[in-house]
Amino acid sequence: MDNFLFSVVIPAYNYAHTLRRAVESVLQQPGEDYELLVVNDGSTDDTERLLAELDKEYENRFRSVTRTNKGPAATRNYGVDHTSGKYLIFLDADDAFCKDALSFLRSTIKNNPGLGMAVGGHVSVDSKGQQTFIPHSPIPGEPLERVMHYLLDKKITLSNGSVAMRRDVFSRYRYPEKFRNSEDLSMFAYVLANYSVACVDGPISYVHKHSDSLRHNVKLAKSIGIKIVDEVFDINRLPGNFQSLREKFATQRLLSLTRTCYLAGDKTACRDFFWQAFRRDWRVLLSWSYCRKFLRSLL
């Protein structure tokens, strides 16, 4: 079937131990209106061997390619260029689809012609296997309010494997390849600001939490710092009134880096990011949680 509704792309980097779970969770979805592409981003573990094994077991059910390591943004963009479905879903190699994920997404897309992004909930799975359902967040109709809820108020939670984005979203903007962490922020903010969005009735993916995830890579977070602010608030993508959110987002980003570095035991970076936040907005002193981390970093 050449005219797919969904293209599911799994970026894989050194997750051979969980990749089978991710692949099979896609192939077990009902229907024939989807394709699966696994992009091995230069893994140094058994990923390539596992893909060969899966290819024999599921002949012609999915495609895979191995490339030199270029990071998650470049890998997702490669997936955009080498698939054909109307909607794209990027499922992390350490996560998995829920049983009826594509069925829920189909229904939402059918009921919302021209939809730019479908947003579903997810099941968070901790390191002990404890599962917690995180329902989708209400999505306001007004774009400025959406972006504010996503970037500042944290009332909108978006997880790649639980979001389907229409292909033409990527005709104007792609994941920023210069960032190997936090690259989702600018992509999701751009879509929330410029396209129609609808919520899905049902959980879409299992999101597995673990300490070695890129989500917790302090070195990458420090290298990016607040550079991501310029990417998110590029005037060509978030024009006019959206710029009023920029300074507050920058301050929140610095506080987030304060917490990240504190938890990683990097006291010097913790203090530095907190001072940067304070210089932007003295009201950070009203947040005892961050002040406490700063004071403890002095000890």
pLDDT of residue 137: 81
What CATH number is attached to the domain comprising 139? 3.90.550.10
Question: Which of 216, 251, 266 is the last residue in one of the domains?
Answer: 216
CB 17 within 8 A of CB 121: no
Question: Which of 153, 181, 216 is the last residue in one of the domains?
Answer: 216
> Which residues are CB-neighbours of 283 under 8 A, at least 6 positions away?
none
- Assess whether 79 and 185 both reside in one domain: yes
- Assess whether 92 and 239 both reside in one domain: no
- Assess whether 167 and 68 both reside in one domain: yes
CB 105 within 8 A of CB 199: no
Please indicate, yes or no, if residue 90 is contained in any of the structural domains. Answer: yes
Domain with 69, as residue range(s), is 6-216
Q: How many domains does the chain have?
A: 2
C-alpha 295/C-alpha 299 separation (Å) is 7
- Assess whether 231 and 180 both reside in one domain: no
Please indicate, yes or no, if residue 45 is contained in any of the structural domains. Answer: yes
**What are the pLDDT tens digits along the chain (299 aa)?**
468 999 999 999 999 999 999 999 999 999 999 999 999 999 999 999 999 999 999 999 999 999 999 999 999 999 999 999 999 999 999 999 999 999 999 999 999 999 999 999 999 898 888 999 888 888 999 999 999 999 999 899 898 999 999 999 999 999 999 998 889 999 999 999 999 999 998 899 999 887 655 445 788 788 888 999 999 999 999 999 999 999 999 999 999 999 999 998 999 999 999 999 999 999 999 999 999 999 999 98
- Assess whether 116 and 226 both reside in one domain: no
- Assess whether 289 and 157 both reside in one domain: no
- Assess whether 206 and 251 both reside in one domain: no
pLDDT of residue 218: 80
Question: Which of 201, 216, 231 is the last residue in one of the domains?
Answer: 216
- Assess whether 33 and 92 both reside in one domain: yes
Please indicate, yes or no, if residue 56 is contained in any of the structural domains. Answer: yes
- Assess whether 66 and 187 both reside in one domain: yes
- Assess whether 179 and 270 both reside in one domain: no
- Assess whether 212 and 226 both reside in one domain: no
- Assess whether 183 and 212 both reside in one domain: yes
Please indicate, yes or no, if residue 1 is contained in any of the structural domains. Answer: no
Among the listed residues 175, 178, 145, the one whose alpha carbon sits nearest the alpha carbon of residue 160? 175
Tallying the residues shown for the chain, one arrives at: 299
C-alpha 148/C-alpha 137 separation (Å) is 13
In eight-state DSSP terms, residue 276 is H
